[in-house]
Amino acid sequence: MRDARDPLGVILANTGTPASPDPDDVEAYLRQFLMDERIRQLPLPLWRFLVFKRILPTRKHSSSKRYQAIWTDEGSPLLVQMNGLAARVQALFDEQPDSPVRIAVGMSYGSPSIETALEQLRQEGCTRIMLLPLYPQSAYSPTYAVIDAYERATSACPWMRDSIVVKDYHDNRLYIEAIAQSIRDAGFDRASDDLILMSMHAIPLKDVKDGDTYLDQTSRTAELVAKELGVDDSRITVGFQSVFGRNQNAWSGPLSRDILQAWSIVCQQKVFFVCPGFAVDCLETLYDIPFEMCPALEGEGATLDGAERFRWVPSLGTSDAHARIIKDVIESAWKD
């Protein structure tokens, strides 16, 4: 056990979000995101030309429309849920005054930044810091983009005396149990012939060649969830989404949308669509699932409300179960 004389500061980190769905704010966010070394896919001069001359002028408008479709009165859904989850985790630790922990939220891109989170924790008396990227399965991007941002920020923090980075929690017992329970809560019956599509964020195949173990971790999560549900591994199909660019063959596959389109022809079972790699709902779930994934199975123009076979399993979000998972991950990492 590490020294517990002062509070442990924990940064719950995520990719980030535009300040608003306005095209200019979306462009500012995308510019920061796309110019990250972890995201760049081509030599810098060519990539810079493509980003500033080809991608941003059009994508800021198309992405703006997508963000407008999911934006809430409280603001960005991702940030609202991140703050809500942080508050729930904080409440759990507040019940244990002998184990002082302070929780902050920080993003790789946009606001609040990792620097902002660190300053908040410094003001609350923390000199021991833990970074917890909310990606259960670790990937070179975005997990290491968060770690990069953290390392840059902490290089200017002489007040820090201890630091730990949690890189993944893909096989955490409470996490596996919660994912399985969320599938049951959506109506999955192991005695039926219902199907489960576990949709994960795609990664560039070049990262796999460079040693990224993300795909192994996604497979392990699927195996453990199947075991927890009491079904054979074959009942869970792993697919991928959120491919960037036109060359889909350069990314991990098969794509979830392609799987659903194939199933729409050859299968009649219900399909439970779960995204265990997304800790909280964001553009890639709140927009892609109702407007792209559901119609891929149900047919063009289909909606979630009228879906006959498509069953969306929401993210763990701000649930009590999720807060307990994060608390367990923090405690386990600090004891190691």
- Residue-range domain boundaries for the chain: 19-70, 173-313
pLDDT, tens digit, for every residue of 83-134?
999 999 999 999 988 879 999 999 999 999 999 999 999 999 999 999 999 9
Task: Give me the mean pLDDT over the 19-31 stretch.
Answer: 95
pLDDT at 101: 95
pTM of whole model > 0.85? yes
pLDDT at 267: 86
Please state at what angle helix 114-123 crosses helix 143-154, rounded to 10 degrees: 50
Predicted confidence (pLDDT) at residue 245 exceeds the cutoff of 80: no
Which CATH class for the 173-313 domain? alpha beta
Burial of 177 (0-12, 13-18, 19+ CB in 10 A): middle
Predicted confidence (pLDDT) at residue 222 exceeds the cutoff of 60: yes
Task: Give me the mean pLDDT over the 273-298 stretch.
Answer: 96
pLDDT at 37: 86
- Closest of 153, 177, 151 to residue 165, by C-alpha: 151
Percent of the chain topping pLDDT 70: 98
In terms of DSSP H, where are the helices of 18-128?
23-34, 44-49, 56-70, 77-94, 114-123
Asked whether 38 and 142 are in contact (CB, 8 A), the reply is yes
**d(C-alpha 177, C-alpha 169), whole Å:** 13
Predicted confidence (pLDDT) at residue 249 exceeds the cutoff of 90: no
pLDDT at 2: 46
HSE, CB side, 13 Å, CA atoms: give it for residue 315: 25
- Closest of 261, 270, 130 to residue 194, by C-alpha: 270
